[in-house]
Amino acid sequence: METKRLVVVAVGGQGNLLASSVLGEAALLSGIPLHMSEIHGMAQRGGVVESALVFGDASSTIISDGEADILVGFEPAETLRAINKCNASTVVITNLAPLMPFTVNIGQGVYPDLKNLQELIRNKAAKLIAFNAADLAKEAGNVLAVNMVLLGALIQTGVLPLSEEDVKKAMKRKTKQQFLQSNLKAFDLGYSAAAETA
Amino acid sequence: MSQESDLYFEYSTNEKIAMEVAAAAANCGVRSMCVMKHVGVNVAADALMTLAYVGVKGGMVIVSADDPFMFSSQNEQDNRFYAKMSGLPMVEPSSVEEAKELVSYAFELSEKLNEPVLFRTTTRINHSTGIVTLGKIRERVTQGDFVKDPLNLVTVPAVARKLHVKLLEKYDKAQELAETSEYNFITGKGKWGIICNGVSYNYVRDAINDLNIEDKVKVLRMGFSHPLPAQRIKSFLKACEKVLMIEEGEPYMEEAVKAFAQEEGLTLEIKGKAKDLFSRLYEYDPGQVRKCIAKYFGFKYTPTEVVDTADVPPVPQRPPTLCAGCSHRATYYEIRKAAEGMQTIFPTDIGCYTLGLLPPLSTADFLLCMGSSVGTSGGFSKVTDKKVVAFIGDSTFFHAGIPGLVNAVYNNHNFTLVVLDNGTTAMTGHQPHPGVDMTQLKLEGYGRVSIEAVVKAIGVQYVTVIKPYKVKKSIEAIKEALNFQGVSVIISEEPCALYAKALKLPQRKPFRISEKCKDHRDCINHLACPAFYIWDEKVNIDPNLCTGCALCAQICPENAILPVKATA
C-alpha cells in the first residue's frame, strides 16, 4: 500500500490530538495500517502540538523534513513554521484565524501578514487550501470545532486513503455525544470549503 | 488504575521511594513495576545499584523513558548505561505493539533471573499510537509473604561480597538468554550489516524499503540489549564486510560491538557515531537514517526536495508560558517588586514555574534537577553577598526539597525559599502529591502532609503564608521575609488555574480594559499574561482566557481594569 504522510500542527488546546485520534480510529475501521506520534511537551502552556500520521506500509511514527504529503495547520503562523515538512508536491491546508503568540503581544515578534503567508505557501507547495475555520466552527455552533472543520477539508482532498463515511463513524466513536451534531456539521462545512477552493 | 482494577497503584513521593516500594513487593513474591522518566532513575539509582545485588522473588520491571531532543527534560542522558552499571538485564521495544508484548516477556525474564529488568523506552515510542492486539491477562497475585533471610537480604559488606558473585552469575545466565531471545533478531541478507535498537529500527526498515536494498543489507535488531549477546553479534560481524551502528544517544552498542570484533580479531569497518554519520545529539528521523545508510554503503540516493525556506520571514516564537491566571505569575511579580533595589540570585526548580525564566518575570537563574533550588541556594548564599531567593513547587518540595531545607537550617544558610503551592503537580498533568486534599479527587483513604507544618518542624525560624492574588499584602509579607537573616520560607498558596477549572471550583469573573486606560501597558509589560492582546494599537483582555485573578487590575496605575459586568 502506498504510504501517505500527514503532519498536523496546532497550538495547545485547538484539538489536534482529538483530530489525530479520530483519524487513527478511521484508519482502524478501514483496515489501513497507521503509525502515528505526537509531541506536546508543554502544549497546555501555550506551546505547539505537532502530530505525525503515517498511513500505509511504513514503520516510522515520525515525518522528516520535506516528506509530508499533506500538511494541516490549525493556525496560520504554525502552518508557515512547519513549511519545512513540505516539498513541491505537498498539499497544504490552513486555518486563517490567527492565535497571537504572546511574544507578539509583548512586542517580541511580528505576526506574518496573512496575504503574504498564503502567497509564500502557494508558491512552494502543490496546492494551498486556506479559509477561516474558526468562522465555520462558529457557524456549526461550536467554536471549539475548528479541528473538525479542518478534518472535513483534509478528507475532501482525497490525499489520505480514508473515506468520509469512515471518518464520520470514527467521529461518533471518539467525540463527545453532546458535540456530535455540531462536529459533523463542522466537518461538512470544512469539506465544502475545501471543495470550493478546488 | 487502582480504581479500575485490582492492581495496587500509588504516586510515590519520588523515584527512589517508588523503586523501594516496588522492590519490597517483589521481594514478597508479588509482581511489581515502577515507572519514571530517565532522570528519575538518577534519583532511584542508589536503591537500584544494590537492588541488583539483592534481586527479587516475584517479577519486577523498571520502566523508564529517555528523552532524545529533550522535548520536556533537562538532559538527554542515555539510560542504557544504567543496565551496564547495575549489571541488570535490559529490554527495549521498537514500537507500541512490541512494548506491550515485551512487558510480559520482561516479567518472565525477571522471574527466571530473580533480578529486576530495566525496560528502556524513549519519548518517541511513548508518544506513539499504534494498533495492539490484546491477549489474556493472567490471574494477579496481589498479596505475598516475606521470608526472613538476612544473610542474603541485608547488604552488609560480608553479604554484599557474596551477592556480587551471584549477580555476575546471573549476568552470565542473562547473556545466555539474550543469545536466543526472539527480541534479538536478524532480517534481510547481504554482505553489509546494520545493528540498531529502539525507534531507530523503524527508520532502518523504512530506509531499506525506500532504497530497495533488502537483499544487500541485513539488520540485527537488539531488543534484549543488556547483556548484549556476544556470540550472536560476533557471528553477525563475521558474516559482514562492514557494519553501521544506528542507535540514538550514546554509542552504547557501538563500543561493545567494536570490542567483540577485537576479541575475534575482526578488522571490518564498524561505524556509527561520527562527524559525517550519526550524532550523539537529539532524536533521529527516517530521512536522516536513509541518507546515512545510503552514504555509508554507497547506495544511489536522491535526497528529499525540501521546499526552499530562504524567503520565509521569521515566525514569532510560541514558547510555553505560564497560563492566564497562573498564580506563579502573581508571586513572581510580587517577589520582583519586594526585591527592588536588591541584588538577587533566583535558583529555581522543576515544574511549571521554571517558565518564569523568560522576561518580563525573569525569575529563574539556575537549575540542575529536582530539589536543586534549595541545595544550590546554600552555596550561592555562602559565597556571595547577594540576596538568594529560591523557588520550588509543592510537589517538588516533597520530592526532593526537604533534605535541602534541613541542611540549610542545620548549616545556618541565609536565603529565602518560596514554596509555590498550587495544590497539585501541575506541569505533568495534575498528579496528586502528599500535600493534596485527595477528597477533592473523590478518593478516600489517603493522608495529607502540610507544607507549613513540615517547614516549621524542620526549624525554619521565619515562615509566612501569602495569598498571591492579594498583591499589596503579599509584597509586604515578602519584604519582611527577604529581610530576615537566616533561612526564611514563604508559602504562596493558590490553586493551579487549570486544576481549579478541572475540579469545577468556583470561577471568578473575567476582567476587561475600561475607557480609563491611558495605555501605560504596565499590565502587558510586567505580567505577560497570555489573556492580553493588542488590537488596533489598544490593550485588550480575551474574556475566554481571563480567569479573573485580578492581578493586572491591582497593578494598573489608572485602575482601568475592571470586572466584566454580568450583563455585558
d(CA B182, CA A144): 47
Residues from chain A contacting residue B529 (CB–CB below 8 Å): 102
- Single out the residue of B483, B430, B418 nearest to residue B455, CA to CA: B418
d(CA A95, CA A129): 9
For residues B271-280, give the mean pLDDT: 97
User: With an 8 Å Cβ cutoff, are B307 and A86 in contact?
Assistant: yes
In 10 A of CB B530, how many CB atoms?
24
Residues from chain B contacting residue A45 (CB–CB below 8 Å): 320-323, 352, 355
B136 vs A132, B8, B140, B481, CA distance in Å? 48, 19, 12, 59
Per-residue model confidence as pLDDT tens digits over B194-210 = 999 999 999 999 999 99
For residues B236-265, give the mean pLDDT: 98
d(CA B289, CA B213): 14
User: With an 8 Å Cβ cutoff, are B307 and A47 in contact?
Assistant: no
Q: Which three cell numbers stand for residue B116?
A: 529486576
* pLDDT tens-place values along chain A, 198 residues long: 899 999 999 998 899 999 999 999 999 999 999 999 998 766 566 788 999 999 999 999 999 999 999 999 999 999 999 999 999 999 999 999 999 888 887 777 899 999 999 999 999 999 999 999 999 999 999 999 999 999 999 999 999 999 999 999 999 999 999 999 999 999 999 999 999 986
- Among A47, A88, A104, the residue with its CB nearest the CB of B319 is A47
Give the number of C-alpha atoms closer than 13 A to the C-alpha of residue B502, restricted to the C-beta side.
Answer: 13
- Single out the residue of A84, A88, A70, A78 nearest to residue A146, CA to CA: A78
ipTM over 0.90: yes
Query: Please, are residues B440 and B496 in contact by the beta-carbon 8 Å criterion?
Result: no
The pLDDT, as a whole number, for residue B548 is 96
Residues from chain B contacting residue A108 (CB–CB below 8 Å): 316-317
Q: Which three cell numbers stand for residue B304?
A: 528529499
- Single out the residue of B128, B126, B125, B122 nearest to residue B68, CA to CA: B122
Per-residue model confidence as pLDDT tens digits over B133-148 = 999 888 888 899 999 9
The pLDDT, as a whole number, for residue B321 is 86
The CATH superfamily assigned to A4-197 is Pyruvate-ferredoxin oxidoreductase, PFOR, domain III (3.40.920.10)
Helix (H) or strand (E) holding B471: helix B471-483
d(CA B415, CA B401): 14
d(CA B388, CA B380): 7
In 10 A of CB A58, how many CB atoms?
22
d(CA A37, CA B282): 17
3.40.50.970, 1.10.240.10, 3.40.1390.10, 3.10.20.310: CATH of B15-178: 3.40.50.970
Distance of CA A20 to the CA centre of its chain: 9
CA distance A76 to chain B (A): 10
Q: How open is the CA angle A57-A61-A64, to the nearest 5 degrees?
A: 95
**How many A×B Cβ pairs under 8 Å?**
162
Give the percent of chain B with pLDDT over 70.
99
Residue length, chain A?
198
- B327-502 shares the fold of B181-297: yes
Per-residue model confidence as pLDDT tens digits over B64-110 = 999 999 988 999 999 999 999 999 999 999 999 999 999 999 999 99
Q: Which three cell numbers stand for residue B308?
A: 526552499
**What dihedral do alpha carbons A130, A133, A136, A141 form, nearest 10°?**
170
Domain B511-563: assigned CATH number: 3.30.70.20
- Single out the residue of B194, B183, B195, B202 nearest to residue B124, CA to CA: B202
B294-316 as b/e, with b when 16 or more CB fall inside 10 Å? bebbebebeeeebbeeeebeebb
d(CA B564, CA B568): 7
Fold of B181-297: Rossmann fold (3.40.50)
B56-90 as b/e, with b when 16 or more CB fall inside 10 Å? bbbbbbbbbbbbbbeebbbebbbbbebbeebbbbb
- Among A35, A78, A87, the residue with its CB nearest the CB of B304 is A87
Which 3 state secondary structure label does DSSP give B271?
strand
pLDDT exceeds cutoff 50 at B155: yes
Which 3 state secondary structure label does DSSP give A141?
coil
Does residue B320 have a cis bond before it (omega within 30 degrees)? no
- End-to-end C-alpha distance for chain A, whole angstroms: 26
pLDDT exceeds cutoff 80 at B532: yes
Fold of B327-502: Rossmann fold (3.40.50)
DSSP for residue B354: G
Residues from chain B contacting residue A52 (CB–CB below 8 Å): none
User: With an 8 Å Cβ cutoff, are A77 and B131 in contact?
Assistant: no
Identify the bridge partners of residue B419 per DSSP, sorted by sequence position: B392, B491
Query: Please, are residues B307 and A124 in contact by the beta-carbon 8 Å criterion?
Result: yes
CA distance B381 to chain A (A): 32
Which 3 state secondary structure label does DSSP give B312?
coil
DSSP for residue B146: -
The pLDDT, as a whole number, for residue B122 is 97
The pLDDT, as a whole number, for residue B568 is 44
Q: Which three cell numbers stand for residue B1?
A: 488504575
Residues from chain A contacting residue B207 (CB–CB below 8 Å): none
Per-residue model confidence as pLDDT tens digits over B381-431 = 999 999 999 999 999 999 999 999 999 999 999 999 999 999 999 988 899
Nearest CA in chain A to B307: A87
Q: Which three cell numbers stand for residue B338?
A: 519586594
What are the strands, taking DSSP E only, across B483-566?
487-493, 511-513, 532-535, 538-541, 561-563
User: With an 8 Å Cβ cutoff, are B307 and A111 in contact?
Assistant: no
For residues B11-33, give the mean pLDDT: 98
Residues from chain A contacting residue B99 (CB–CB below 8 Å): none
Domain boundaries, chain A: 4-197
pLDDT band, residue B537 (cuts 50/70/90):
confident
pLDDT exceeds cutoff 90 at B533: no
User: With an 8 Å Cβ cutoff, are A45 and B323 in contact?
Assistant: yes
pLDDT exceeds cutoff 60 at B486: yes
Report the mean per-residue pLDDT for chain B: 95
User: With an 8 Å Cβ cutoff, are A47 and B528 in contact?
Assistant: no
Domain boundaries, chain B: 15-178, 181-297, 327-502, 511-563
Does residue B530 have a cis bond before it (omega within 30 degrees)? no
Q: Which three cell numbers stand for residue B208?
A: 531499506
User: With an 8 Å Cβ cutoff, are B524 and A105 in contact?
Assistant: yes
CA distance A36 to chain B (A): 5
pLDDT band, residue B349 (cuts 50/70/90):
very high
The pLDDT, as a whole number, for residue B567 is 52
User: With an 8 Å Cβ cutoff, are B319 and A103 in contact?
Assistant: yes
